Amino acid sequence: MTRLRVRLAATFALVALLTGFAVALTAPSIIGTGFARMQREGQGAGPPGGPGPGQGAGQPGHAAVIQQETTQTIVVVALVAAGAASLLGALIAGRIVDPLGRLGVVAQAVAGGDLRRRGGLAERRDEIGELGRSFDSMAAALEAADDSRRRFFQDAAHELKTPLAVIDATATAVLDGGYDHDRKHVATIQGQARVLARIVDDLRTVSLAETGHLPLHLEPVDVEAAVDAAVAAFTARADARGIALRRSGASGRFVRADPERLAQVLGALLDNAVRHTPRGGSVTVAVIDADGTVRIAVADTGPGVDPRDAPHLFDRFYQGDPSRDRATGSSGLGLTIVRALVGALGGRVGVEPTPGGGATFWLELSGATPP
């Protein structure tokens, strides 16, 4: 805003300078005219028998009148010059103030919910243009957040609707006598209730992580031990599906993280990889040391990632595979939780196609000194 202050100050200074310049330019001529008039009237002949030339009885009065008229003329010139300079200054100031007024109107519209409005000042190359671009960026971010919120509620309603419908239908059939009161139908209700609980718990975790209110206990964590524990937890499931699960890469690396949240992240990535890897495939967890950061990559030999889906795989409830449903036991928030938790830990996540098929999901965390 320094340049804007300078321009405003220059506008006021211009008004003063133009006024002073006009007065200085015209004052000598006005004063000279007044003196010339005084000399002409002072040299005129007096009445017969009266004083000689230059000594008329009315000379002092005439001088006062001429002095007063000269002063008035200078004041009028100064006022005219000040008015003209002020008009020019007002035009210059208007170019500064008017866009701010228009931006204020647009800001009120955005505050009223019209998030598609923009300031229209992005083309300017001054501070007002910078303000306009910042405002447009803010409005675009608010619009994107509002769209995301709307999609979130729609998706959440859709995800919650299915288990609720199953619970309602099963319970109604049991109460109406269509189903027997046996453990199988009670187990169906219990299972769907647990799906609901999982979705609600996952939504809460994502919300807390994204808003920075998730409790974290940061400490140096042995990456090798964390990966080994995650691999061991999924070994039986991978064996049952005929999937080879292994780890590779560097050892003895530590990261600054919350041990429980890191285990949750690794579990979500392994769960995603095992679910999308066909029988006879493999899942590899690699630890890579890279200039002060540690990368953990989970590579699978599944169907791979469509480049169009890659930017959205970490979005809430996003389904790159339309055939996926809740029967897999997923809440649709696994990768969203990964992104939120890794972000809360100060790291990054991403996904890359694996040469020959499959995909590699990775996360990077800052390295830490062993305890």
Give me the pLDDT at residue 204, please: 84
Residues 180 and 271 in one domain: no
Q: Are 273 and 327 in contact (CB under 8 A)?
A: no
Q: Looking at the predicted structure, is the pLDDT value of residue 255 above 50? A: yes
- pLDDT category at 124 given cuts 50, 70, 90 is confident
**pLDDT of amino acid 221:** 94
CB 106 within 8 A of CB 136: no
Confidence of residue 57 (pLDDT cuts 50, 70, 90): very low
pLDDT band at 67 (very low <50, low <70, confident <90, very high): low
Q: Do the domain assignments include residue 355?
A: yes
Check whether 308 has a pLDDT greater than 80: no
276 domain-assigned: yes
pLDDT at 187 over 90: no
pLDDT at residue 294, as a whole number:
93
Shared domain check, 287 and 337? yes
Asked if residue 96 and residue 191 are part of one domain, the reply reads: no
Which percentage of the chain shows pLDDT scores above 70? 72
Q: Which of 84-88, 141-145, 345-349 has the lowest mean pLDDT?
A: 84-88
Q: Are residues 255 and 205 in the same domain?
A: no
pLDDT of residue 225: 93
pLDDT digit string (tens) for 15-56?
666 666 666 666 667 666 766 766 666 655 444 444 444 444
Q: What is the mean pLDDT of the chain?
A: 78
Residue partners of 188: CB distance under 8 A and separation at least 6: 166, 170
Residue range 94-122, pLDDT digits in tens: 667 777 778 888 888 888 888 888 887 77
Same domain, 185 and 232: no
| Bridge partners for 247 per DSSP | 285
- Counting the structural domains of the chain, the total is 3
Residues 283 and 322 in one domain: yes
CA distance linking residue 324 with residue 338, whole number of Å:
19
Structural domain includes residue 72:
yes
Decide if pLDDT at 70 tops 50: yes
Percent pLDDT > 90 in the chain is 22
Residues 158 and 106 reside in one and the same domain: no
Task: Say how far apart CA 304 and CA 281 lie, in whole Å.
Answer: 12
Q: What pLDDT is recorded for position 342?
A: 92
CA atoms of 262 and 221, how far apart (whole Å): 9
User: What is the pLDDT, as a whole number, of residue 48?
Assistant: 46
Residues 165 and 98 in one domain: no
Last residue of a domain, one of 157, 187, 210: 210
Phi, psi of 295 (to 5 degrees): -105, 130
Q: Which residues contact 86 (CB under 8 A, 6 or more apart)?
A: 15
Span 230-240, mean pLDDT? 92
Do 109 and 195 reside in the same domain of the chain?
Answer: no
CATH code (residue 296): 3.30.565.10
Evaluate whether residue 47 is within a structural domain.
Answer: no
Q: Which of 117, 182, 363, 147 is nearest to 261 (CA)?
A: 363
CA separation, residue 73 to residues 23, 39, 128 (Å): 10, 19, 42
Q: How far is residue 368 CA from its own chain's centroid?
A: 30
* Residue found by looking up tokens 């000689």 in the block: 52
Predicted local confidence at residue 227, as pLDDT: 93
CA 295/CA 226 separation, integer angstroms: 13
Q: CA–CA separation, 155 vs 167, rounded Å? A: 19
- Residue 143 within a domain: no
Q: Taking the model in full, what pTM does it have?
A: 0.58
Q: Which residues pair with 220 in a beta bridge?
A: 256
Residue 144 lies in a domain: no
Is the model's pLDDT at 158 over the cut of 80?
Answer: no
| pLDDT (tens digit per residue) in 135-145 | 888 888 888 88
Whether residue 371 lies inside any domain: the answer is no
Residue 158 lies in a domain: yes
Alpha helices, DSSP H only, in the chain? Answer: 2-42, 59-111, 127-176, 183-210, 223-240, 259-275, 334-344
Do 244 and 320 belong to one domain? Answer: yes
Same domain, residue pair 224 and 358:
yes
- Distance, CA of 186 to CA of 175 (rounded, Å): 12
In a shared domain, residues 199 and 235: no
Q: How does residue 228 score in pLDDT terms, banded at 50, 70 and 90? A: very high
Domain assignment of residue 254, given as a range: 219-366
